Amino acid sequence: MDLSRADAREPAHLAPREHGKPVPLAMFANVAGAYLWAWTAIGAALEILFQILPVAFGLRNTIDAGLSRVLFSWTLHAIVYFWLIPAYIAYYTLVPRAIGGRLYSDSMARVSFILFLVFAMPIGIHHLFADPQVGLGFKFLHAVFTGMVSVPTLLTVFTICASVEIAGRLRGGKGAFGWLTALPGQNPMMLVIAFSFVMLGLGGAGGLINMSYQLNTTVHNTQWVTGHFHLIFGGAIVIMYFAIAYELWPQLTGRAIVSLKLVRTQLWLWFIGMLVVTLPWHYVGMSAVGGLILAVSGALFIYILAKSQFGPAVQPQGFRFSTAVHPVEPFGLWVALMIGLTVVNYSVPIVQLLKLPQTSVPAVVVGAQR
């Protein structure tokens, strides 16, 4: 494909089809997230219905702590994809277009969301490696499937980096690395994707330690886990939310963002603050400094949007996503795999816990006098 002419006219094989038009990538990913959320909610629902509500209504005064923890682990991990999937949607559908490039592979993007759907669900017991009521075999099985979650993330990093290279080459970058110097460094979206991937890499590397059955014993219940979570959510994901807000604000309000320089400053502050908080988390004194930087960045974000609201009105251009290529559908097989793997990975531990005698503990009512 001649990248120098990529924006001139849409190639015939990329043109929207009147009949059998594929679901847009953003909607495809949202549907994957909805299926995931619907299935992962079952674990917490079972815990509430059969463990918590009977105690709340006075029908019993004990709770099976081990079974409750296993049921909650069903929900615990996959539920975080409620905020992760929108950021990944932005990676694929907003970043390439915003920096003047093209999405390298729509097919790879859809495969990534399918893999999240299949493997993000049946892995919650990796949060229970220290719990004696779950057998070693199923702990190992969940550790293996947890490792598989890194695959769609690595596919995403590859696809977006390739899309960024396309943007650099469309801007005249030559040679093996010349495209790097041609990238729009002053574009806030370019800044965001760089910061987000740095924090995603650091947080993801920490996550691989968490999911390792052997290494987890070293970091379990330590600030390591707190740092991992904050790097992924507070870092890689929230900074993408900022980018989404800056992208959508003119569309929603008809007001231009007041200052790209302020936007870049806000993003830099968030990036620096999150690193200062999370990397040396065990040095508690330094965390306060990072927290202050994050607070300043958050306040600046609100200031930028508020000031933009009272700025000059603009006529928003038609909103569009990055160019989509080669769809992968439908969902039936992947939903079946998600359900099947969950049943395999959770059925035996749940049945074993149900058969164990004397596993319940006295329920403690919140706020009750002891």
Tokens 């920096």 sit at which residue? 99
DSSP bridge pairs for 360: 64
174 Cα distance to chain centroid: 33
Q: Provide mean pLDDT across the span 306-325.
A: 76
Is 50 exceeded by the pLDDT of residue 17?
no
Angle at alpha carbon of residue 229, lines to 70 and 38, rounded to 5°? 50
More confident residue, 324 or 78: 78
Q: Where are the domains of the chain?
A: 24-178+329-362
**pLDDT in the model for residue 287:** 54
Rounded mean pLDDT, 18-46: 85
14 token code pair: 């990329």
- For residue 107, what pLDDT is reported? 87
Cα distance between residue 171 and residue 370, in whole Å? 70
Give per-residue pLDDT as tens, 79-136. 888 889 999 999 999 999 999 888 998 888 999 999 999 988 888 888 888 888 888 8
pLDDT in the model for residue 195: 96
| Region class of 358: left (phi > 0), else alpha (psi between -120 and 50), else beta | left
How high is the pLDDT of residue 4?
40
In this prediction, residue 276 has a pLDDT band, given cuts at 50, 70 and 90, of: confident
Of the pLDDT bands very low, low, confident and very high (cuts 50, 70, 90), residue 1 is very low
| pLDDT reported for residue 3 | 41
Interval 135-171: pLDDT, tens = 888 888 898 888 899 999 999 999 999 999 999 998 8
Phi/psi at 255 (nearest 5 deg)? -120, 135
H/E/C letters for each residue in the chain? CCHHHCCCCCCHHHCCCCCCCCCCHHHHHHHHHHHHHHHHHHHHHHHHHHHHHHHHCCCCCEEEHHHHHHHHHHHHCHHHHHHHHHHHHHHHHCHHHHCCCCCCCHHHHHHHHHHHHHHCCCCHHHHHCCCCCCCHHHHHHHHHHHHHCHHHHHHHHHHHHHHHHHHHHHCCCCCCCHHHHCCCCCCHHHHHHHHHHHHHHHHHHHHHHHHCCCCHHHHCCCHHHHHHHHHHHHHHHHHHHHHHHHHHHHHHHCECCCCHHHHHHHHHHHHHHHHHHHCCCCCHHHHHHHHHHHHHHHHHHHHHHHHHHCCCECCCCCCCCCCCCCCCCCCHHHHHHHHHHHHHHHHHHHHHHHHCCCCEEECCCCCCCC
What are the pLDDT digits (tens) for 335-363? 888 888 888 888 888 998 888 877 788 88
For residue 237, pLDDT over 90 is answered with yes
Whole-angstrom Cα distance, residue 180 to residue 164? 9
